[in-house]
Amino acid sequence: MNNNLTAILYIAAGILFIMALRGLSSPETSRRGNQFGMIGMALAVAATLFSARFLEGAEWTSWIWIVLAIAAGAIPGALIAKKVPMTSMPQLVAFFHALVGLAAVLIAWSAFLAPVAYGIGEPGAIKVQSIIEMAIGVAIGAITFSGSLIAFAKLDGRMSGKPIILPARHIINIALGAVALLLIILLCTGVQSAFLFFLLTIVAFALGFLLIVPIGGADMPVVVSMLNSYSGWAAAGIGFTLENMALIITGALVGSSGAILSYIMCKGMNRSFISVILGGFGGEDSGPAGGDGGEERPVKQGSPDDAAFIMKNAGKVIIVPGYGMAVAQAQHSLREMCDMLKEEGVDVKYAIHPVAGRMPGHMNVLLAEASVPYDEVFELEDINSEFSTADVAFVIGANDVTNPAAKTDKSSPIYGMPILDVENSGTVLFVKRGMSSGYAGVQNELFFRDNTMMLFGDAKKMCEDIIKAME
Partner 1 sequence: MMFFMQDSDKEMAAQTAEEAERTVEEIRETAEAARQAADNLDASADALNGQIGALQALTDTAHVNEFIYLFAIFILAIFVGYYVVWSVTAALHTPLMSVTNAISSVVIVGALIAVGAEVADTAAGGWSMALGVIAVALASVNIFGGFMVTQRMLAMYKKKEKPAPKAQG
Q: Please list the active-site residues.
A: 400
Please say whether the beta carbons of 104 and 251 come within 8 A.
Answer: no
Name which of 113 and 166 has its Cβ closer to partner 1: 113
Shortest reach from residue 258's CB to partner 1, in Å: 7
Name which of 27 and 157 has its Cβ closer to partner 1: 27
Shortest reach from residue 137's CB to partner 1, in Å: 9
From residue 174, how far is each of 151, 182, 199, 217, 228 by CA, in Å?
A: 21, 12, 16, 23, 22
Please say whether the beta carbons of 171 and 112 come within 8 A.
Answer: no
Name which of 236 and 307 has its Cβ closer to partner 1: 236
Name which of 20 and 143 has its Cβ closer to partner 1: 20
- Alpha carbons 239 and 247: distance in angstroms, whole number: 5
From residue 57, how far is each of 54, 69, 88 by CA, in Å?
A: 6, 18, 42
- Alpha carbons 201 and 423: distance in angstroms, whole number: 52
- Alpha carbons 19 and 92: distance in angstroms, whole number: 24
Please say whether the beta carbons of 31 and 58 come within 8 A.
Answer: no
Shortest reach from residue 21's CB to partner 1, in Å: 5
The torsion angle over the Cα atoms of residues 114, 116, 121 and 122, rounded to 10 degrees, is 60
Name which of 46 and 179 has its Cβ closer to partner 1: 46
Shortest reach from residue 27's CB to partner 1, in Å: 4
**SS3 for 168?**
coil
- Alpha carbons 143 and 230: distance in angstroms, whole number: 8
Shortest reach from residue 93's CB to partner 1, in Å: 5
First vs last Cα of the chain: how many Å apart? 69
